[in-house]
Amino acid sequence: MGVDNAGVLLHLYYGRKTDADMSYLIRYTDRGFSGNPYALRTNRGYSLDTLPQEYSGSGVGDYRLPAVQVVSGNGSRSVDLRYAGFRITKGREPLQGLPFVRASEKTETLVVTLRDSAIDLDIQLLYHVYPDEDVIVRSARITNNSSKTVMIEKAASACVDFLYGNYDVIHFHGRHCMERMQERFALPRGITSFGSRRGMSSHHSNPFVILCDRHTTENTGDSYGCMLMYSGNHHEEFEVDQAGSTRLVSGIHPDGFSWMLAPEEAFETPEAILSFSADGLNGLSRHYHDIIRKQIIAPRWQQARRPVLINSWEAAYFDFDAQKILRFANAARDMDIEMLVLDDGWFGKRNDDNSGLGDWTVNEHKLGCTMKELSDRIHDLGLKFGLWFEPEMVNEDSDLFRSHPEWALRDPDREPMLARNQLVLDMSRQDVVDYLFSAMCSILDSTRIEYVKWDFNRSIANFYSHALPASRQGEVAHRFILGTYQLLEKLLSRYPDLMIEGCSGGGGRFDAGMLYYCPQIWCSDDTDPIERLEIQRGTSYGYPVSTMGAHVSASPNHQTGRAVSLHTRGIVAQSGTFGYELNPEKLSDAEKEEIKKQIRDYHRYADLIAHGTYYRLTEPSDTPDYCAWMFVSQDRTEALVNLVMTHVRANGPFPFVKLQGLLPERIYHLQEQSQQFTGASLMYGGYSFQLSPGDYCSVQLHFT
C-alpha cells in the first residue's frame, strides 16, 4: 500500500514477496470520462477511476465497484476516503459478536484509518497477518463521528485491485445434494458477481472464490483466494475495467441490507481470509487448510480424534422408538462404532416434517422412555450419544408458534413463504435466543449428550422482524446471523466439551464462520459416494478434510439409487470425519465384518487424514474415468493414496497418477504389495493402478 500526495491509500501490489517499494507500478494518464478530484482539477492525469485503491469509496469519481456506500445525515451518498494514520500491534483483538481467526504466536495487526472529513466518518481497515499460514485476514470497522445518524448500505470486508493481468475466476456453485461444484472461466470485461440472498451462505454459492492466472494448474502458477468468514447473505464481485484492471470486493450482500449507525457507534464487518500461492491451486488449498485447522477450529477439537458415529436418519427417518434405536446401538457396538446419533423426530408432535419444530421437549410417548433413560442405556453399551436439533426453525403447527407467532420472520400484511412447511424464527430478537438457549439447556443438562447435529433446512424469505421499526428492517438478515452466533457461543461456553456438527440440509452453511463453532459440517445430504467425489473435491479447494462430515450409506443409495460396493463407499467416506448412515439390522455378517475392518483402517490412518497435507491428483477434464487424491504426513514419510473408478471401459488403459509431496531421495514401502519405490519415481514417473473389473471399483495404498 502507499499513500499518494492527495492522501488516497493506493493498492500497489499483492503476490510473491519482493522486499521493494512497488509504487513504480502506478502510471498516470488522462482517460476520457474519468474525472478529477477538485483539489487536483488541473491534473487531468489523476483520477480515482483509474487508480488501484485499498478500499474504494463511492460517488466521488471512481465508477467501479464501491467497497462502502453510506447515506449521510443530509442525504448525501458520497464517500471520499483519505488516509488518516495507522498503528501496528502484536496479536489481535477478537471481533464482537462475529467469529474470527484466532491469533497465533506470530500474529500481528495493522490498522489503517481512512476518513471522510465532510461527513465525519472513519473507516478502520484491519489486517491480521499470519506468516506461518501465509494468510492475511481483513475486515473493516465503520465509525460515525458526526452528530447525525448515517445509514450504511454497503460495507465490504475486503477490496483488492489488480492493476495488471488477465485472470480466471473459480467459484463453487451448486444446489441441495450437489454443493460446491467447481466452475472456472476467464473473467470478462464488466462486472461478474456471485453470492447468496437466502439468509445463509447456501448450497448454491459458497463464500469462497479464487482468482488465478490463465495457465495456473493444481501445482503451478499464481492464485489468490478470498474466503468470507460469514454464514449469511454474502456477495463476491469482480470488475474488469476499461484499462483491464481487475477489482475484487467481498462482504455482506448489499441487496436488502442497511444499517442505521447512530453518532459514536461503529459497525464491524465479517472477516475475509486472503491468501496467495505461487504453487498452484493445491498450494493455495494448503494455506486455507492450515489456517482453518490451526486458527479457526476451536482448540478443544484441533487434535481430538473424532468418534466414528452412526446416524439414525437414513436408517429409520421418523419411524423409531427407543427399542429400535437400542437395537441399532447394539449392532453398532458389535461393529466397533463409537457413537449413536438420534436424528429428527424425537421431540414435540414430530412424526413427519410438518409439525413440532420449536417445541424442544422430548416426546416420551413416542420413545417409550425419557431421553435420559435412552442415553444411559446407550452409554451402558459403551457408545457415546448425539442428538439432532434445528434451533432456528418453527412450524405453524407447534405450541411455540401458537404462543408466539410474532417470533417468526414474516411480513405483517401478507402470508409468509413456506419451505418444508416451516417458518424461520427471528434470531435478531434476544427473547428468541434466550428461549432457544433455555430449551436446549433443559435437554443437555438432564441428558448425557456429547454431540449435537445442528440443522437448518430452508432458505429464508420474509426478512421482517416484529421487534424492529420500519427504518431498521434492513438490519434483520445480519442481526439474524449475529443471533445464531450468539446462541452457539452461549452453548459452547456452558458445554465446552460438546461437539456440534453444522448442517443445513447438508452443506448449505459450509463456511468458515460456522467452522469457528462447529469443528465439522455435514458435507451434503447426498451420500452417493460417486457424487460425493465431486462434492468433496470441490469442498477441498478451501476447506480441510477434517471438517467434512462423510458417511457410508446404504446401497442402492437413497438419493440416486446407485449401487456401489461397501469397499468404495468406505474409501470415499474415510476422506472426511467418517461414520455410517444406514440400518445396521439389514447388514449381512460379511458386511458387518467389512465395516469392522473399515473402522480399524480409519483409526490406523485417522491422524494422517485429519492432519496430513492433502493433494488432488487428478483433474476431471483430464481423467473423466477416475478420481484420485492423497494425504502426506507432515514429515513426508507416510502417504495414503486413494483412487475410485467412475466409469468402466472395455479394454481400457490403466489409471495412472503422479504422486506428490514425497521426499525424492527416500525409499517408500508399499506394504499391501511388498514393493518399494523412491519418492522421485512415484512423483516423476508416477504409479499405474490395476483394478478388479466391475462398477466403481477402488483402491487405497499406504506408503511408508
Vertex 627, ends 624 and 630: CA angle to 5°? 150
One-letter amino acid for residue 214 of the chain? R
Beta-carbon contacts of 19 under 8 Å, excluding residues fewer than 6 positions away, are none
**Cell reading at 416:** 409468509
- How far apart (Å, rounded) are the C-alpha atoms in residues 630 and 216? 21
**3-state secondary structure at position 191:** strand
Cell 439409487 belongs to: 561
> Which of 4, 591, 607, 695 is flagged as catalytic?
591
> Which of 511, 525, 526, 638 is flagged as catalytic?
511
- How far apart (Å, rounded) are the C-alpha atoms in residues 181 and 228? 18
- Closest to 7 measured CA to CA, from 83, 78, 111: 83
> CB of 451 within 8 A of CB of 497?
no
Name the strand (E) or helix (H) holding 316: helix 313-316
Beta-carbon contacts of 110 under 8 Å, excluding residues fewer than 6 positions away, are 86, 87, 88, 126, 127, 129
**Cell reading at 17:** 514477496
Q: How far is CA 141 from the centre of its chain?
A: 23
**Conformation bin of residue 569: beta by default, left when phi > 0, alpha when psi is -120 to 50:** alpha
Long-range contacts of 407-415 (CB under 8 A, 24+ apart): 407/431, 407/432, 407/435, 409/460, 409/462, 409/463, 409/464, 409/465, 409/476, 409/480, 410/462, 410/464, 411/462, 411/464, 412/464, 412/466
Report the b/e string of 644-653 with b at 16+ CB within 10 A.
bbbeeeeeee
**390 labelled catalytic:** no
One-letter amino acid for residue 44 of the chain? R
Report the b/e string of 118-128 with b at 16+ CB within 10 A.
ebbbbbbbbbb
Q: What single DSSP character describes residue 250?
A: E
- How far apart (Å, rounded) are the C-alpha atoms in residues 551 and 568? 12
The full DSSP string for 506-564 is: TBTT-SHHHHTT-SEEE--S---HHHHHHHHHHHHTTS-GGGEE-EEE-SS-TTT----
Name the strand (E) or helix (H) holding 168: strand 167-175
Cell 438478515 belongs to: 477
> Cis peptide leading into 94, omega within 30 of 0?
no
- How far apart (Å, rounded) are the C-alpha atoms in residues 502 and 99? 15
- Closest to 579 measured CA to CA, from 503, 518, 527: 527
**426 labelled catalytic:** no
Q: What phi, psi does 213 have (nearest 5°)?
A: -60, 155
Which residues does the annotation mark as catalytic? 511, 591
